[in-house]
Chain A
Amino acid sequence: MSVQTSPAKTERGKKNLRVTKTLFGQIKEYLQEMHAAKQDGSKMIVWNGGPQIIPMEILHAMDFLPQQIDSMAAVFAAKQLSKRFIEATERQGYSHDICSYYKTVFGYLLDGLDIPEVAGIDWPQPDLLLGSRSVCVLHPLGIRMFQRYLKIPAFVADTPLIHPRMDQHHEPEKRFAEHSTIGVHYKHAIDDHYLDYTKDQIRSLIKFLEEVSGKKLDYDRLREAVALSSRASELFLEIQDMRRNVPCPVGAQDIMPLIAPSFYWAGTQRAVTIYEEARDEVKENVAQGIGAIPDERFRLYFEGIPPWYHLGLFNYLAERGAVSVAETYPFEFVHVMDPDKDPLDNLTDKALRYLYNSPVQERSDMVLNYVRPYHIIGAIAWDAICCKIFTGFAKLMSYDLQKEFDIPTLIIDADQADPRDYHPAMVQNRLDAYLELLEERMG
């Protein structure tokens, strides 16, 4: 008898925007493109485990077909396949406590390639692997794990982590007052030796890509890709800006899936077109006073990676009048760039100023800077124990929110891709209590 995932754990988020409802269709089209390329050898499939410093812009400009490892895992989780794949990986001896994203995709290679359940999301095996040390120490190890298994070329880049003394002129007392905001994640100056080192890493990446593909990078195409990526970022930020409106015109149910263009297609017209459509729809909602949820009472900040296997979490909140009006995760790869700058300088800047490469205090400041303009009264942090980037940050953020605004944070201990680490009764109980608390505070 097969083991069924409990229905209480798995519900899709109710999307409101037309463009979000068609997004998965576009992902499937891209997948078909990859299969066709795999068949005729016209383009190389790349699995990118480090888009923070391995720019998708370069990959698209060089006609690779890149896919991001985290995104694949999110799709498998949404299709209720991640548990099976994670278990396949753990049977090889991998720990329960390491990244569920990487375990999901590795498990797909072990146990998912030919199963009927992956129809429509059967990502072809890559020809190349790329990764970076930015963000998380597991990522480069994960890439090597994939490389050993697939026996294909791999490149891992290094990025210096930004610490508060990256700029000798950094003035700590200006934090929060001199705010960092989504889209320009780390505003302070960065000394030249960090920039030179990182740019050198990107040059090494280009050299590697040119060697494996036999094609040279066309810098004009790269310039164009950078411009398109920047334009897509501007559009996504425009959407975020409109969420200040009351009622909020678009909630996390739509924003989370809308991560896809900036993850998969940064540097392409496709991403720009999708965000243009989304922006126009959201603008229409604002003009007509249409909110993401019918009876908006609680405006929340949502921290962390959502449970992709159960985006119905946001439906549960919506039924109770709660909407997430701001997050930072969807804007991970959003970065507005200067068209007059050299594209490699732009991408170097993007890599170093990357959200999760920044000091945690900067990240916390970004959250604090959402509170007043977005009329936020509460915060939920989805604290995945396997993801050190988030699990370490939630407490600092909750402390700062309490100190600056007397806003309590609900920290929920559950995973983003592993439904075994999600306990519906526990989560529901905490959500109910938290919303009751907010209700009382509102008087």
Chain B
Amino acid sequence: MLTAGIDIGSLTSKCLILEENKTAGQVVLPTGRGGEATANKVFQMALDDAGVSSSDIEYIIATGYGRISISFQNKTISEITCHGKGVYSLFPQARIIIDIGGQDSKVIRLNDSGNIDDFAMNDKCAAGSGRFLEVMAQALEVDLPQMGNLALLAENTIDISNTCTVFAESEVISLVSRKIPINDILAGICNAIAERVYGLAIRKLRGKTTEGMVVMSGGVAKNAGVLRFLEQKFGHRIIVPEEPQLVGALGAALIGQKNLRSQQQ
């Protein structure tokens, strides 16, 4: 049984092909303009990675903001549900998922059966999302993948506004002209996003969390600086899957398997 999960996000598009309980193929690529062309491209690349053809795929679930543009799906499911399924399959002890993607951040609470119990998403502003980090990396002429590691080298964490990405960018530029060390500014940026997302998470917690209960997914999970600041706020280590960006696509493919089995019964 081969199923596919396609997750079209604002910054990256992902596809994961599942064969029983093994990942047969997976791809992450920039979304660009998006739409069906991107969906086709990411699907084809995942098929190539798996060494199969599209006719081998028995069920396709589409998720992410761009899911409605995919005509060749069997069903669309929100990324909240898909992330929940994906994380629970990897870490059955997980009860809180923090997903920070390109344009939004989410906190998802799971129950003991791995179903979504509740969730919260950021308010309108991009200040709690990957876009915030992208804008800052550009303003500081720093390589986005290196941001987190550089932040960990900071001697101080500068306080930076987390209300508005554009205003925060102006703030950062003025800090640079005051000759504040770049690493300290980067630490401030990472802390700002962590603080904002932690504020979201607090609303959904039921009591204190312990190590193993909190999992981070989405592209920003690769930012070691944001991760460290979040861990400080939670007071314990946070699990990051090996491929945090693919968790949604994994969950989608798993739902595809479940739906297929139901159909076959």
Contact = CB atoms under 8 A, between A and B. Distances in A.
Interface of A: 402, 408, 413, 421, 423, 425-426, 429-430, 432-433, 436-437, 440-441
Interface string B96-133: 00000000100000000001111101011000000000
Nearest to A430: B121
13 contacts: A402-B118, A426-B104, A429-B65, A433-B81, A433-B119, A436-B77, A436-B78, A436-B81, A437-B115, A437-B116, A437-B118, A437-B119, A440-B81
Which secondary structure dominates where chain A touches chain B? helix
Nearest to A421: B124
A268 to B, nearest CB: 41
A413 B124 contact: yes
B80 interface: yes
A228 to B, nearest CB: 44
Contact of B116 (A423, A430, A440): A440
Contact of B78 (A402, A421, A433): A433
A378 to B, nearest CB: 11
Contacts of B117: 408, 437
Contacts of B124: 413, 421, 423, 426
A316 to B, nearest CB: 13
A429 B8 CA distance: 13
Given A423-B124, A426-B124, A432 B115 contact: no
Contacts of B104: 426
Contact of A436 (B80, B118, B121, B123): B80
Contacts of A413: 123-124
A440 B115 contact: yes
Pick the most buried of A402, A425, A433, A441: most chain B CB atoms within 10 A of its CB.
Answer: A433
Nearest to A437: B116
Interface of B: 65, 76-81, 104, 115-119, 121, 123-124
Nearest to A398: B203
Which secondary structure dominates where chain B touches chain A? mixed
A440 B88 CA distance: 15
A441 B65 CA distance: 24
A403 to B, nearest CB: 11
Contacts of B121: 426, 429-430
Given A408-B117, A440-B116, A441-B115, 11 more contacts: A402-B118, A425-B65, A426-B121, A426-B124, A429-B78, A430-B121, A432-B77, A433-B116, A436-B80, A437-B118, A440-B115
Contacts of B80: 433, 436-437
Contacts of A441: 115
A426 B123 CA distance: 10
Closest 5 CB pairs of A and B: A433-B80, A433-B78, A408-B118, A432-B78, A440-B115
A424 to B, nearest CB: 11
Contacts of A402: 118
B148 to A, nearest CB: 27
A437 B116 CA distance: 6
A440 B109 CA distance: 13
Contacts of A432: 76-78
Contacts of A408: 117-119
Contacts of B79: 429, 433
A380 B180 CA distance: 45
A408 B116 CA distance: 11
A437 B118 CA distance: 7
A235 B180 CA distance: 68
A413 to B, nearest CB: 5
Contacts of B119: 408, 433, 437
Nearest to A432: B78
A408 B124 CA distance: 20
Pick the most buried of B77, B116, B117: most chain A CB atoms within 10 A of its CB.
Answer: B116
A425 B77 CA distance: 14
A437 B81 contact: yes
B203 to A, nearest CB: 8
Contacts of B76: 432
Contacts of A421: 124
B31 to A, nearest CB: 14
A430 B77 CA distance: 11
A106 B115 CA distance: 48
A4 B81 CA distance: 34
A441 B77 CA distance: 16
A441 B115 CA distance: 8
Nearest to A441: B115
